[in-house]
Amino acid sequence: MGFSDARYDVNLSILFTELPLLERPAAAAAAGFTAVELWWPWVDAPVPEQAELDALRTALNEAGTQLVGLNFYAGQLPGPDRGALSIPGEESEKFRANIDVAADFAQSLGCTALNALYGNRVDGVSPEEQDALALENLQLAARAAHRVGATLLIEALNAPESPKCPIVSAPKAIEIVDKVNESTGLGNAKFLMDLYHLSMNGEDLHEAIDRYTAKTGHVQIADNPGRSYPGTGELDFTDLLDRLGKAGYDGWIGLEYKPTGPSASSFEWLPAPLRAAKH
């Protein structure tokens, strides 16, 4: 896999947000994409009304877009919440209530990647207590993902933008991946390698790719600085995607960047024939 033969999908929770949620799949299809991913769309409803789930499923199917990645409930993204599963009390309870709802929704659309975001550190609770809660919830999520034939993704964010998040490096995320796999015996936890976040952390992207691709289940990209589309910053995505391919990665490349104008105009860097899943 290299730049010209990668499989690209669009994150509809950061792109096409100028449109209502149910109009975004058709807009992505009109831009030439056949695959999309989503953060949990209902930030205040870990268990939304069935009609809302059905409406989103219909919008995705009618647009001809395949859902290839979905976050479990994680609060408001992007924003100060940035995860829920390690936060005692209401947020953790919301995460648990969402687990089977998200897994079943993913299964109904053939989606096989579910991302579970750690929560921020909170006052009055020890890191050890939060980490123990996180492992319990990740075990539940891994079992639900296994039930529907999906991978559980664990992502590293970046310290400048998420200073209270404890998972802000590739090695730390890999440590959590290994703990989940060891404790469940399922082996379905994988690393979500977001090259923007790793770059913001100052990590060596070549080293991260070489060391962790074998444990990677999904890749997301945005340029740095600015978190916009490739070519607006300093990252060499031709080099990085070629390196991923040589390291054995052949999965999806999620476009998780902020457009600088209308979303439909932010794909000029990617030739139209490369936007569809089959090319």
For residue range 243-257, what is the model confidence (pLDDT) as tens digits? 999 999 999 999 999
* Catalytic residue chosen out of the listed positions 37, 91, 203, 256: 256
Rounded-to-5 percentages of helix, strand, coil across the chain: 40, 15, 45
- Over residues 225-247, the mean pLDDT reads 97
Q: Look at residue 9 and give its three-state secondary structure.
A: strand
- Over residues 60-81, the mean pLDDT reads 92
- Total of domains in the chain: 1
Q: Are 118 and 167 in contact (CB under 8 A)?
A: yes
**What is the CATH number for 11?**
3.20.20.150
The answer to whether residue 51 is domain-embedded is yes
Count of Cβ atoms closer than 10 Å to residue 260 Cβ: 12
Closest-CA residue to 46 (of 6, 79, 93, 9): 93
Please tell me the predicted confidence (pLDDT) of residue 3.
Answer: 72
In angstroms, the Cα distances linking 72 to 78, 113, 174, 187, 234 are: 14, 10, 19, 19, 31
The answer to whether residue 41 is domain-embedded is yes
In which band, very low, low, confident or very high, does the pLDDT at 279 lie, cut at 50, 70 and 90? very low
* Cis ω for the linkage preceding 41 (within 30 of 0): no
Residue 256 is among the residues annotated as catalytic for this protein = yes
Least confident of 70-84, 122-136, 222-236, 255-269: 70-84
Residue 166 sits at the vertex; the CA angle it makes with 194 and 240, to the nearest 5 degrees, is 20
Q: Are 146 and 124 in contact (CB under 8 A)?
A: no
* Cis ω for the linkage preceding 171 (within 30 of 0): no
Q: How far apart are CA 173 and CA 274, in angstroms?
A: 30
In which band, very low, low, confident or very high, does the pLDDT at 237 lie, cut at 50, 70 and 90? very high
The answer to whether residue 139 is domain-embedded is yes
Range of the domain at 153: 3-274
* Catalytic residue chosen out of the listed positions 37, 91, 155, 203: 155
- 34-72 b/e (C-beta count within 10 Å ≥ 16 → b): bbbbbbbbbeeebebeeeebeebeebbeebebbbbbbbb
In which band, very low, low, confident or very high, does the pLDDT at 1 lie, cut at 50, 70 and 90? low
Q: What is the pTM of this model?
A: 0.97
Pull the structure tokens for residue 272. 């139209």
The answer to whether residue 279 is domain-embedded is no
The answer to whether residue 119 is domain-embedded is yes
The answer to whether residue 136 is domain-embedded is yes
Q: Which amino acid is at 240?
A: L
In angstroms, the Cα distances linking 69 to 80, 102, 212, 232, 243 are: 22, 11, 20, 25, 23
The answer to whether residue 197 is domain-embedded is yes
Please tell me the predicted confidence (pLDDT) of residue 79.
Answer: 76
Residue 207 is among the residues annotated as catalytic for this protein = no
The answer to whether residue 215 is domain-embedded is yes
